[in-house]
């Protein structure tokens, strides 16, 4: 009896170059195929593309393509007065616009030497945490749907809509809130707002219980997410990985704790970490951070001052000259470190505003590394597990 | 992988029994939140068409289009929104100085014609036009500053006994802070009789570029040191920022620019004159109108001679306005620069007496006269010719000429205009108790409200609805002024109510001096009869066209004799347009 050799498809894989870690292959050999995933693909979290080289149905090479969403915000802002940049910045990241508003406002305030009232600092923190909550809810939907569990996505996206209702009530806009403005915020909390926030939080809490049951304790999800896209702790600094992607690999790094901004030093919370480093661990981090957001919002509503101004008067914004200087402000958004580097040359227009979106490192360089040896069917799940929003790649 | 991982997902089957989140058909539309940023609403009557919404809109979604008639303080333009461009940021609502612009909470509107999404809120009938809900600028949040930087002033205790200038002028920081409030809408430019480019010189203050500021100011006004102090500032009555609180101190910002530059430096900053063109123009009267015409004609290369009856040039600026409002050195600063350009001043020359008008007329290529209103109206009551009755203008001129007026210790000023206030406050500075009698109500007083306020602050008593009846010799004091109370009688809607004497309400004031200051008339006796009769038109004004040309060839006129506004800035504007007119008439005009 002839012993059958154990079949391993990887035997047919092309050799890997030891230096670059990339596969060495000849596309014309007929053994490999190019698959274009995106930009019109639900598994690509927005407008970008993956150029996949596959051997069978496994990826041996991945190249990322961006440029489908380039609106030139950074350049536009160099031709806008500071106040006119305010409605622009939120559009840099659609599902979580408030971080742009906050960092832009903080940068302008720091350069111009403006002190924001205490109440505005609480309102800003509340807005940011609500934005994190909404962003996580949307992400859970994406992550579940990428593995074929669209129903879970429907629950959480609905919950996100309830948060958007709150934003609509607070700021007058559902998606682009344009609430945090240099000098403070644009309006006080509506009467009874805290009560309605609490009602929504309770509802979300219940949904999260169900999400845990249906997603985290789900054989299908575990089977596919465990071991998918493993980020080792040594990769974190090499690739500039931040946020839940780093925390899923056991790195205790959270700007809210490490460099507390706004009122985070007055709130009780701890950094959420997991050690797996894979898509499953990252999902756990995000789910627990969603609950943490709920808790933080509750703490804020309890502790925030009830009286005092929420806006510090600015010089005339129509010809506001910001003193020359530069600053980098950062904050912890759902995807990691969000940063604004701003340079003023003392005129009415910003000289340069550079936006550091965490998605750039995660979706471009990290994805190219992690996609190798992944099954085509899991690419969407892997992509979503990195939680990237392409608009912030292309500012 | 445990058994739980197989079973747990099924536990969420219970959600099957939950109500769906989505709306059932027919869809019950939910109204937008009370702060929702939906389609705009605009109160067209409150809107002043300043265009600040258009200015701040970074999408260029707003166009200002003509909707109403243009009038003072209202450009007549109204914002037209293009919802293909609008990003609903509502900065336009936040910045709107009149507060007319808002947003409704309407967010559902479907139409197959994209053109309908460009419309003028408030003008085009939309169901949400009267919407109370929707985004409005919140209380406690404001992008503009409504309050003026306070002007340092002499205290009342000091000012009522001295002729030192009361308004002390802004410091650099104060001027910059005040200049920063300007939204550069330009409604002031349209309103200013001389159309001074106000937002531009205010910008020069923000940029700390006084030379540039002076250049801009001199393009429309060659008497800025004087105007920066005593201009009737029509601009400030229409300033868009007035809708938010106080108008920008346009007048004092102009003064700030001029105060920063020495007269000696003017020549380095301002344009040089064109080379002499060999033509001669005579100007009669060295008031603001004459000086303005002289300056702009001289710039164009004309040989200009000014004839004036007084000892010094300046007209009413010097002889009619007291020193505490307009110090003489400031009038001189303006005049000296004009003189330095080569304008010839012939003071103490009365046309018609010292020099014949026809001689001037024949020896020059054109004549401009702005001789002003120098004949005070009488009260037309008995006892007017008694010693101790002196007209307001005469009193003010005497003070300028260095004479101490003989007013005694109590003075009654009759009238409610600026001359009356000047005479009253001047008398107060000579230690007299002053009472101001005015026929109508205080709101009807033609004097600037701040003049009235300051007069009262300095201790002048103001009695309104008071009609002087007769003046008699007094026993303890020099005079007794009898006056009666008036009631305001309406002459029908739209007409100014007129004061009517209440019979038997006679009262008396014992005083040493009565100063009538109820207006003045032109004195055109210096003109030959045939020319004068050809000049004077309706209501006693000299008839002029847009270039201030009179019906008589070669003769131009401006200032109080030719325009009903009767203020310095109008006279300056008249002089400027007459200069252009003369230039065109003499064929020298180049585009």
Instruction: Examine the pLDDT at B132 and tell me if it is beyond 80.
Output: yes
Question: Please, where in chain A does CATH 1.10.645.10 lie?
Answer: 73-359+367-392
Task: Establish if B144 touches chain A: CB-CB under 8 angstroms.
Answer: yes
ipTM: 0.90
Residues of chain B contacting A79 with CB distance shorter than 8 Å: none
Look up residue B274 and give its DSSP letter: P
* pLDDT band with cut points at 50, 70 and 90 for residue A2: low
- Alpha-carbon span B6 to A391, nearest angstrom: 38
Mean pLDDT of B327-335: 95
| Nearest by CB: B135 against A155, A172, A215 | A172
| Nearest by CB: B143 against A187, A213, A317 | A317
* pLDDT band with cut points at 50, 70 and 90 for residue A11: low
Tokens at A141, concatenated: 């939907």
Contact residues for B546 (Cβ-Cβ < 8 A; gap 6+): B577, B581
Mean pLDDT of A12-27: 81
- The CA-based angle A213-A218-A221, given to 5 degrees, is 125
State the smallest CA–CA distance between residue A179 and chain B in angstroms. 9
Q: Is the separation of the CB atoms in B286 and B571 below 8 Å? A: no
Compare all CA atoms of chain B with the CA of A219 and give the residue at the minimum distance. B5
- Please give the model's pTM, rounded to 2 decimal places: 0.89
| Nearest by CB: A217 against B4, B37, B95 | B4
Cβ contact B33–A172 (<8 Å): yes
What does the pLDDT read at residue B557?
A: 93
- Alpha-carbon span A118 to B476, nearest angstrom: 70
Tokens at B298, concatenated: 């001289």
- Alpha-carbon span B150 to B148, nearest angstrom: 6
Cβ contact B35–A187 (<8 Å): yes
State the smallest CA–CA distance between residue B231 and chain A in angstroms. 26
Residues of chain A contacting B203 with CB distance shorter than 8 Å: 319
Cβ contact B180–A158 (<8 Å): no
| Range 120-139 of B in CB contact (< 8 A) with A | 135, 138-139
Contact residues for A361 (Cβ-Cβ < 8 A; gap 6+): A239, A240, A241, A242
Percentage with pLDDT > 90 across chain A = 70
Instruction: Examine the pLDDT at B281 and tell me if it is beyond 80.
Output: yes
How far is CA B494 from each of CA A246, B464, B497, rounded to the nearest angstrom?
78, 22, 9
Strands B118-119 and B77-82: antiparallel
Residues of chain A contacting B41 with CB distance shorter than 8 Å: none
Tokens at B383, concatenated: 């006892």
Residues of chain B contacting A318 with CB distance shorter than 8 Å: 52, 55-56, 95, 183-184
Average pLDDT, chain B: 91
- Alpha-carbon span B179 to A320, nearest angstrom: 12
Compare all CA atoms of chain A with the CA of B58 and give the residue at the minimum distance. A84
Look up residue B263 and give its DSSP letter: H
Percentage with pLDDT > 90 across chain B = 70
Task: Establish if B206 touches chain A: CB-CB under 8 angstroms.
Answer: yes
* pLDDT band with cut points at 50, 70 and 90 for residue B536: confident
What does the pLDDT read at residue A13?
A: 80
Instruction: Examine the pLDDT at B74 and tell me if it is beyond 80.
Output: yes
Tokens at B236, concatenated: 């400030």
- Alpha-carbon span B292 to B315, nearest angstrom: 12
What does the pLDDT read at residue B572?
A: 95
b (16+ CB within 10 A) / e for A155-191: bbbbbbbbbbebbbbbbbbbebbbbbbbbbbbbbbee
Q: What is the DSSP string of B476-495?
A: SSSEEEEEEEEEEE--STTS
Mean pLDDT of A157-185: 94
Fold of B273-374+529-585: FAD/NAD(P)-binding domain (3.50.50)
- Domain B376-519, what architecture? 3-Layer(bba) Sandwich (3.50)
3-state secondary structure of B158: helix
First to last CA, chain A: 64
State the smallest CA–CA distance between residue A114 and chain B in angstroms. 14
Compare all CA atoms of chain B with the CA of A89 and give the residue at the minimum distance. B89
State the smallest CA–CA distance between residue A15 and chain B in angstroms. 34
- Alpha-carbon span A158 to B305, nearest angstrom: 85
* pLDDT band with cut points at 50, 70 and 90 for residue B179: very high
Enclosing H/E stretch for B53: helix B52-56
Question: pLDDT tens for residues A262-283?
Answer: 999 999 999 999 999 999 999 9
Cβ contact B12–A213 (<8 Å): yes
- Alpha-carbon span B484 to A142, nearest angstrom: 89
3-state secondary structure of B41: strand
Enclosing H/E stretch for B334: helix B328-340
* pLDDT band with cut points at 50, 70 and 90 for residue B504: confident
Superfamily of domain B156-268: Alpha-helical ferredoxin (1.10.1060.10)
- Alpha-carbon span A93 to A357, nearest angstrom: 9
Bond preceding residue B60 cis, omega within 30 of 0:
no
Contact residues for B560 (Cβ-Cβ < 8 A; gap 6+): B289, B370, B372, B373, B522, B566, B571
Q: Is the separation of the CB atoms in B75 and B51 below 8 Å? A: yes
Mutate which: B4, B133, B140, vs A, most A CBs within 10 A: B140
- Alpha-carbon span B94 to B151, nearest angstrom: 28
- Alpha-carbon span B252 to A297, nearest angstrom: 51
Mean pLDDT of A8-27: 77
B287 CA to centre of own chain: 19
Per the DSSP assignment, residues forming a β-bridge with B485 are B466
How far is CA A15 from each of CA A10, A52, A54, A62, A371, rounded to the nearest angstrom?
10, 17, 14, 16, 17
CATH classification code of A73-359+367-392: 1.10.645.10
Instruction: Examine the pLDDT at A27 and tell me if it is beyond 80.
Output: yes
Instruction: Examine the pLDDT at A10 and tell me if it is beyond 70.
Output: no
Residues of chain A contacting B34 with CB distance shorter than 8 Å: 169, 190
Cβ contact B1–A184 (<8 Å): no
Comparing C-alpha atoms, which of B443, B394, B58, B310 is closest to residue A318? B58
Instruction: Show me where the domains of chain B are located.
Output: 29-143, 156-268, 273-374+529-585, 376-519
Task: Establish if B142 touches chain A: CB-CB under 8 angstroms.
Answer: yes
Cβ contact A187–B56 (<8 Å): no
What does the pLDDT read at residue A3?
A: 65
Instruction: Examine the pLDDT at B482 and tell me if it is beyond 90.
Output: yes
φ, ψ (nearest 5 deg) of residue A232: -85, 150
Question: pLDDT tens for residues A56-87?
Answer: 888 988 999 988 888 889 999 999 999 999 99
Per the DSSP assignment, residues forming a β-bridge with B369 are B284, B557
Instruction: Examine the pLDDT at B73 and tell me if it is beyond 80.
Output: yes
Question: pLDDT tens for residues A297-307?
Answer: 999 999 999 99
Question: pLDDT tens for residues A110-141?
Answer: 999 999 999 999 999 999 999 999 999 999 99
Task: Establish if A178 touches chain B: CB-CB under 8 angstroms.
Answer: yes
Cβ contact B138–A184 (<8 Å): no
Cβ contact A313–B95 (<8 Å): no
Fold of B29-143: Alpha-Beta Plaits (3.30.70)
| Nearest by CB: B6 against A165, A168, A219 | A219
What does the pLDDT read at residue B437?
A: 94
Mean pLDDT of B408-420: 93
* pLDDT band with cut points at 50, 70 and 90 for residue B305: very high
What does the pLDDT read at residue A271?
A: 94
Residues of chain A contacting B185 with CB distance shorter than 8 Å: none
| Nearest by CB: A187 against B59, B103, B141 | B141
- Alpha-carbon span B590 to B569, nearest angstrom: 26
Cβ contact B5–A217 (<8 Å): yes
Q: What is the DSSP string of A291-302?
A: HHHHHHHHHHHH
* pLDDT band with cut points at 50, 70 and 90 for residue B555: very high
Alpha helices in B344-481 (DSSP H): 357-363, 392-400, 418-429, 449-457
């Amino acid at each position: 009896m002839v012993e059958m050799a154990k079949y391993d498809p990887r035997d047919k894989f092309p050799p890997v170059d030891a230096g670059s870690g990339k596969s060495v292959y000849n596309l014309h050999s007929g053994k490999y195929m190019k698959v274009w995933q995106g930009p019109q693909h639900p598994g690509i979290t927005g407008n970008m593309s993956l150029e996949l080289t596959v051997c069978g149905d496994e990826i041996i090479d991945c190249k990322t393509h961006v440029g489908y969403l380039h609106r030139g915000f950074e350049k536009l802002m160099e031709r806008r007065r500071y106040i006119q940049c305010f409605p622009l910045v939120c559009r840099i990241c659609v599902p979580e616009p408030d971080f742009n508003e906050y960092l832009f406002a903080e940068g302008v305030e720091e350069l111009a030497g403006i002190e924001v009232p205490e109440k505005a600092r609480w309102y800003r923190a509340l807005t940011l945490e609500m934005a994190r909550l909404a962003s996580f809810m949307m992400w859970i939907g994406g992550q579940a749907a990428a593995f074929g569990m669209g129903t879970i996505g429907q629950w959480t996206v609905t919950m996100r809509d309830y948060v958007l209702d709150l934003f609509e009530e607070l700021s007058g806009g559902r998606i682009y809130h344009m609430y945090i403005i240099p000098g403070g915020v644009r309006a006080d909390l509506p009467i009874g707002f805290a009560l309605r926030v609490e009602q929504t939080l309770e509802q979300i809490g219940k949904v999260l219980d169900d999400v845990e049951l249906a997603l985290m304790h789900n054989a299908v999800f575990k089977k596919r997410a465990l071991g998918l896209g493993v980020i080792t702790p040594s990769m974190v600094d090499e690739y500039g990985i931040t946020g839940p992607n780093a925390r899923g690999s056991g790195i205790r790094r959270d700007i809210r704790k490490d460099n507390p901004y706004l009122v985070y030093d007055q709130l009780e919370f701890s950094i959420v970490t997991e050690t797996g480093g894979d898509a499953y661990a990252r999902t756990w981090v995000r789910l627990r951070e969603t609950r943490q957001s709920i808790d933080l919002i509750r703490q804020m509503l309890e502790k925030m001052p009830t009286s005092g101004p929420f806006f510090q008067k600015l010089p005339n914004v129509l010809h506001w000259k910001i003193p020359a200087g530069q600053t980098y402000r950062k904050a912890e958004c759902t995807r990691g470190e969000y940063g604004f580097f701003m340079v003023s040359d003392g005129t009415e227009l910003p000289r340069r505003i550079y936006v550091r979106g965490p998605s750039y490192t995660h979706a471009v360089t990290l994805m190219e590394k992690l996609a190798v040896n992944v099954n085509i069917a899991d690419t969407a799940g892997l992509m979503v597990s990195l939680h990237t929003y392409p608009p912030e790649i292309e500012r | 992988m445990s058994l739980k991982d197989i079973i747990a997902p099924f536990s969420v089957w219970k959600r099957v029994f939950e109500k769906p989140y989505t709306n059932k058909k027919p869809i019950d539309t939910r109204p937008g939140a009370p702060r929702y940023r939906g389609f705009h609403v605009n109160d067209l009557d409150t809107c002043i068409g300043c265009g600040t919404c258009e200015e701040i809109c970074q999408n260029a979604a707003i166009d200002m289009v003509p909707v109403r008639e243009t009038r003072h303080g209202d450009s007549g333009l109204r914002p037209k929104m293009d919802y293909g461009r609008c990003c609903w940021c509502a900065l336009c609502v936040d910045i709107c100085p009149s507060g007319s612009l808002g947003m409704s909470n309407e967010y559902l509107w479907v139409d197959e014609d994209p053109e309908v999404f460009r419309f003028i809120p408030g003008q085009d009938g939309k169901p949400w036009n009267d919407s109370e809900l929707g985004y409005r600028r919140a209380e406690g949040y404001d992008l503009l500053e409504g309050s003026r930087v306070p002007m340092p002033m002499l205290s009342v205790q000091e000012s009522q006994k001295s002729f030192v200038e009361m308004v002390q002028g802004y410091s650099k920081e104060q001027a910059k802070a005040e200049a920063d409030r300007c939204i550069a809408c330009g409604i002031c430019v349209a309103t200013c009789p001389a159309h001074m480019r106000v937002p531009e010189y205010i910008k020069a203050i923000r940029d700390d570029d006084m030379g540039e500021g002076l250049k801009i100011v001199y393009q429309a006004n060659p008497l800025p040191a004087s105007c920066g102090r005593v201009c009737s500032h029509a601009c400030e009555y229409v300033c868009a920022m007035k809708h938010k609180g106080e108008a920008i101190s346009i007048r004092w910002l102009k003064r700030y620019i001029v105060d920063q530059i020495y007269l000696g430096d003017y020549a380095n900053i301002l344009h040089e004159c064109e080379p002499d063109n060999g033509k001669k123009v005579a100007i009669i009267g060295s008031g603001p109108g004459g000086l303005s015409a002289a300056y702009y004609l001289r710039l164009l290369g004309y040989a200009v001679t000014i004839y004036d009856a007084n000892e010094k040039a300046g007209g009413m600026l010097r002889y009619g306005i007291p020193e505490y409002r307009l110090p003489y050195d400031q009038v001189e600063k303006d005049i000296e620069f004009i003189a330095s350009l080569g304008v010839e001043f012939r003071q103490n020359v009365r046309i018609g007496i010292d020099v014949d008008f026809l001689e001037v007329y024949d020896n020059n290529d054109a004549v401009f006269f702005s001789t002003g209103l120098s004949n005070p109206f009488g009260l037309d009551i008995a006892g007017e010719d008694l010693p101790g009755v002196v007209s307001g203008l005469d009193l003010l001129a005497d003070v300028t000429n260095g004479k101490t007026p003989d007013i005694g210790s109590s003075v009654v000023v009759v009238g409610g205009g600026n001359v009356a206030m000047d005479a009253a406050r001047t008398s107060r500075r000579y230690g007299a108790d002053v009472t101001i009698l005015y026929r109508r109500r205080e709101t009807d007083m033609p004097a600037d409200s701040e003049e009235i306020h300051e007069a009262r602050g300095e201790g002048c008593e103001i009695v309104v609805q008071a009609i002087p009846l007769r003046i008699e010799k007094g026993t303890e004091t020099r005079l007794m002024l009898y006056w009666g109370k008036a009631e305001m009688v309406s002459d029908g809607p739209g007409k100014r109510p007129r004061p009517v004497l209440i019979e038997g309400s006679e009262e008396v004031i014992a005083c040493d001096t009565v100063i009538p200051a109820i207006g003045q008339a032109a004195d055109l006796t210096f003109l030959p009869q045939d020319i004068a009769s050809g000049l004077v038109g309706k209501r006693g004004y000299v008839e002029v066209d847009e270039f201030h040309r009179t019906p008589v060839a070669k003769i131009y006129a401006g200032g109080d004799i030719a325009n009903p506004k009767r203020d310095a800035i109008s006279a300056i504007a008249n002089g400027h347009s007459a200069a252009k007119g003369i230039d065109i008439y003499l064929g020298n005009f180049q585009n």
